[in-house]
Amino acid sequence: MTTVLTGETFESFNPATGETVGAYPVHTAEQVESAVAKAREAAAWWDSLGFAGRAERLATWRAALANRMPELVEVISEETGKPAGDAQLELVLAIEHLAWAGKHARKVLGPQRRAPGLLLANQAASVEHQPLGVVGVIGPWNYPVYTPLGSISYALAAGNAVVFKPSEFTPGVGKWLADSFAEAVPEHPVLQLVTGLGETGAALTKAGADKIAFTGSAATGKKVMASAAETLTPVVIEAGGKDPLLVDADADLDAAADATVWGAFSNAGQTCAGVERVYVHERVHDEFVAKVVAKAEDIDAGEQYGPMTMPSQLDIVRRHIEDALAAGGKAVVGGADAVGDRYVKPTVLVDVPEDCSAVREETFGPTVTIAKVATMDEAVEKANDSVYGLGSTVFSKSRGMELARRLRTGQTAINAPLSFAGIASLPFGGSGDSGFGRIHGPEGLREFARPKAIARQRFTAPIALTSFARSKKTEALVGKLIAKLHGKG
């Protein structure tokens, strides 16, 4: 069950059954370049609609997504194997983001006045955010709607045309999105789809787009950035994570255990900001572990989450569990045998040394490590000791905000799992191997726009500074003025 190339096409599979579900073209570099060229023309038209015209059309698309949810849920489930309820959840969140982006683009990106300062008080200063032109979006398979739409919705709302390359595991979802958009906006190809394997993605990074929005692994992110560097094309990289969850001594342990099992095991652990490591205060460690074990034992792989979408991931999950056990860790739920041919049962590991792959590398499977800490300072230190910096979660009644601020991650949820991902007004992104740049919220809109500064002279200044007509007297006056204004320190 790997991607099969058949001449000019490739096939996608249902990872739960191994059945072929569709065949899609492998677009060549020339075809990708032609899509970007067409997108450039479409971008000019899309820009000319203004914020109101775009918001109206994005609302039409949003309505189609909302009204046809069951259809798209089926396509998502078929290509990823995830249960319908989870497929619907990612779609619901994606629709919320699309609504927010369309509604707030004008306020965030439209013209804003700025103070010109005393020396240039005769000027009217303003800044507005103009579209970049064409944005190339490269997406992963784990949330094939929510994740690419995190870039696509904001790029479109900011006035750009988009060329979208979905993962080779979820081309059908990509096609459904592009087709439904074309029905809502039939005039020009504002959102185009290119399909294929990694080479098609690589071609997109060189095809003349004005920005590449990449979501995927850190390893591929580095290739994307290197390739885009050849043409100085800017990139936003949303890569993986090794997200920690902290449990303080005063935490609601039932809620923390519930968040741990859901954060670690939902979507078979294939969530970039899923919980992978837990650090628990020693006073509540044993009680917390017992609660996690009880909840994890109740989870039915295959019922409550789906198979590993990408078969090669099974080996990585097995290796991480085996490394942890070989280094002295204990599996209190699951273990190496939990890794089957398609499904992985929940696995909870304790006493795992911090230098193990299960603690340091992104596992991207339904496993979690739980470690005991003497203080929350130690928890913060261990949580921050990672090459990744994507998301984090804190359970604490008294110190939630303080601990959240100290975690070196792009976003932190307090007393609930992954809440930041559903709040459209909040930016999302990482640092280190988790990438850089932001999608979602005002920051996500600005990521796909170019600030344009305009200074308009309202009247001739009594003191001409930027003219050869400037006199010695003027220079002396300005010198005195600045010394008076700023000289006091």
Residues tagged active-site = 238
In 3D space, the residue among 362, 439, 144, 214 whose CA is nearest the CA of residue 223 turns out to be 214
* Residue 138 and residue 168 in contact, taking contact as beta carbons nearer than 8 Å: no
State in angstroms the smallest separation of the CB of 369 from ligand NDP. Answer: 17
Q: 3-class secondary structure for 159-170?
A: CCEEEEECCCCC
How many whole angstroms from its chain centre is CA 143? 10
Cβ proximity to ligand NDP: between 285 and 342 the closer is 342
Sketch the per residue contact string, 308 through 337, with ligand NDP: x for CB under 6 A, - otherwise. --x---------------------------
State in angstroms the smallest separation of the CB of 216 from ligand NDP. Answer: 2
Sketch the per residue contact string, 421 through 440, with ligand NDP: x for CB under 6 A, - otherwise. ---------x----------
Interatomic CA distance for residues 135 and 132, integer angstroms: 7
* Residue 90 and residue 145 in contact, taking contact as beta carbons nearer than 8 Å: yes
Residue 468, judged by CB atoms within 10 A of its CB (0-12, 13-18, 19+), counts as exposed
**Token pair for 137:** 């979006």
Enumerate residues 6+ apart whose C-beta is below 8 A from 359.
242, 277, 324, 352, 353, 369, 371
What is the residue whose two structure tokens read 């790029």?
Answer: 155
Q: Which stretch binds ligand NDP (CB under 6 A): 26-34, 74-82, 163-171, 299-307?
A: 163-171
What is the residue whose two structure tokens read 């000319």?
Answer: 48
Please select the residue that binds ligand NDP; options are 167, 192, 267, 367, rule is CB under 6 A. 167
**Token pair for 27:** 């677009």
Cβ proximity to ligand NDP: between 87 and 293 the closer is 87
Binding residues among 397-426 for ligand NDP as defined by CB under 6 A: none
State in angstroms the smallest separation of the CB of 469 from ligand NDP. Answer: 56
State in angstroms the smallest separation of the CB of 173 from ligand NDP. Answer: 12
Q: For helices 50-67 and 146-157, give the axis angle rounded to 10 degrees.
A: 160
Cβ proximity to ligand NDP: between 155 and 350 the closer is 155
Element (H, E) at 411: strand 411-414
* Residue 471 and residue 134 in contact, taking contact as beta carbons nearer than 8 Å: no
State in angstroms the smallest separation of the CB of 294 from ligand NDP. Answer: 28
Sketch the per residue contact string, 186 through 205, with ligand NDP: x for CB under 6 A, - otherwise. -----------xx--xx--x
Interatomic CA distance for residues 141 and 41, integer angstroms: 29
SS3 312: coil
Enumerate residues 6+ apart whose C-beta is below 8 A from 340.
none
Residues that bind ligand NDP (rule: CB under 6 A) add up to a total of 32
Interatomic CA distance for residues 42 and 51, integer angstroms: 16
State in angstroms the smallest separation of the CB of 80 from ligand NDP. Answer: 11
In 3D space, the residue among 107, 84, 103 whose CA is nearest the CA of residue 95 turns out to be 103
168 binds ligand NDP, rule: CB under 6 A: yes
State in angstroms the smallest separation of the CB of 175 from ligand NDP. Answer: 14
How many whole angstroms from its chain centre is CA 133? 21
Binding residues among 112-151 for ligand NDP as defined by CB under 6 A: 138-143, 147
State in angstroms the smallest separation of the CB of 146 from ligand NDP. Answer: 8
Sketch the per residue contact string, 238 through 257, with ligand NDP: x for CB under 6 A, - otherwise. xxxx----------------
Please select the residue that binds ligand NDP; options are 78, 362, 433, 447, rule is CB under 6 A. 362
Binding residues among 254-293 for ligand NDP as defined by CB under 6 A: 272
Please select the residue that binds ligand NDP; options are 224, 284, 352, 379, rule is CB under 6 A. 224
**Token pair for 216:** 């995927």
Please select the residue that binds ligand NDP; options are 216, 307, 365, 437, rule is CB under 6 A. 216
Cβ proximity to ligand NDP: between 25 and 353 the closer is 25
Point out which residues bind ligand NDP (CB under 6 A): 138-143, 147, 165, 167-169, 197-198, 201-202, 205, 215-217, 220, 223-224, 238-241, 272, 310, 362, 364, 390, 430
